[in-house]
Structure 1
């Protein structure tokens, strides 16, 4: 398969008949049909993946995953249930959403691991805060941080973004994001320690 660039996907005009025929041939193991199908649809697949995932490299990997699914499951395509392109877009969307969720889980694990290096982790401090007064204190603690620290922490914790995604959003290196979050959590712990019970 040819590499995919970052050029915005064009709305390639692909009549349903030829695509359906290609899928039928792919189901029989026809490599030439698969290549033709890929060339006709890869930009549309990559475009949807990129809009869903944002990250270019992960979008490329997801596009490759989608076409692997097409190769392995072409026989499952049912023209009575929709057009070939609709079928392909459903596969793409599902795979892209799976990748987003996997990246978010990875981000949360990384944040938890990083905050355990701090004596009283942020997630332990905020865990179980249901009292309005406690919530107010946490918000006041966040207000003590610099705007850059607060923005980085908010994107990572509440926006469920990975460090690279936060870095891309803010236009700074990943190391800078990690440093801001680490320092911000330490300041937050120092602020909350005297006024809230910390385990």
Structure 2
């Protein structure tokens, strides 16, 4: 045990605190504050939280001073043990709160939603494009059909149509420009 800890007549101090002596409490607070905050900060890794928990520790000392038993250890050991326990409780509480919040957010954002409207809009858009395909040339229709509806690459579509790949790309570009223009006119 450190020399300073042995020099504190903790038992007498706690006896006075148990009897409601404010001056004794201030003295213990002044003697141990930095050590209590240090023990807590080492655990919680946050100075402001450490100071908050240290205040809770000294409130607990004030309320429970009569329960101190000198045969179980020094006053310094008792107070620092209270500090360590409170710090661990704070870390656990913070982690539990984070887990609850994460679980809540996961539930909120992963809820299935009614996608009927989205499906209807997609079907309507698909139908509109299909209607306007008739306005394309036969070669443009073939290119769009193979690439966008059957999932072929432009190279595969070129082989199936027996034309160069660049021709398929040109037909697709021209078809998309024409479809875009027609759809814009309708809306």
Give the shorter-chain TM-score range: 0.5 to 0.7
Q: Which residue of 1 aligns with 2:27?
A: 36
Q: Which residue of 1 aligns with 2:84?
A: 93
1:58-77 equivalent positions in 2, closer than 5 A: 58-77=49-68
Equivalent residue in structure 2 for 1:81, among 67, 72, 87: 72
5+ long unaligned stretches in structure 2: 113-187
* CA-CA distance at 1:120 after TM superposition: 6.5
5+ long unaligned stretches in structure 1: 1-10, 122-199
- Calculate the aligned-residue CA RMSD, in Å: 1.9
The 2-side partners of 1:95 and 1:119 are apart by: 36
The 2-side partners of 1:13 and 1:91 are apart by: 19
Equivalent residue in structure 1 for 2:104, among 106, 113, 119: 113
The 2-side partners of 1:30 and 1:94 are apart by: 25
* CA-CA distance at 1:18 after TM superposition: 1.8
* CA-CA distance at 1:17 after TM superposition: 5.0
The 2-side partners of 1:61 and 1:17 are apart by: 24
- Secondary structure of 1:14's counterpart equals helix
* CA-CA distance at 1:112 after TM superposition: 1.3
Q: Which residue of 2 aligns with 1:186?
A: none
Q: Tell me which structure has the larger Cα radius of gyration.
A: 2
Structure with greater proportional helix content: 2
1:113-192 equivalent positions in 2, closer than 5 A: 113-119=104-110
Count residues with an aligned counterpart: 111
Equivalent residue in structure 1 for 2:94, among 98, 103, 106: 103
Deviation beyond 6 Å, 4+ runs, structure 1? none
* CA-CA distance at 1:15 after TM superposition: 2.8
The 1-side partners of 2:79 and 2:21 are apart by: 18
Q: TM-score with structure 2 length normalisation?
A: 0.55
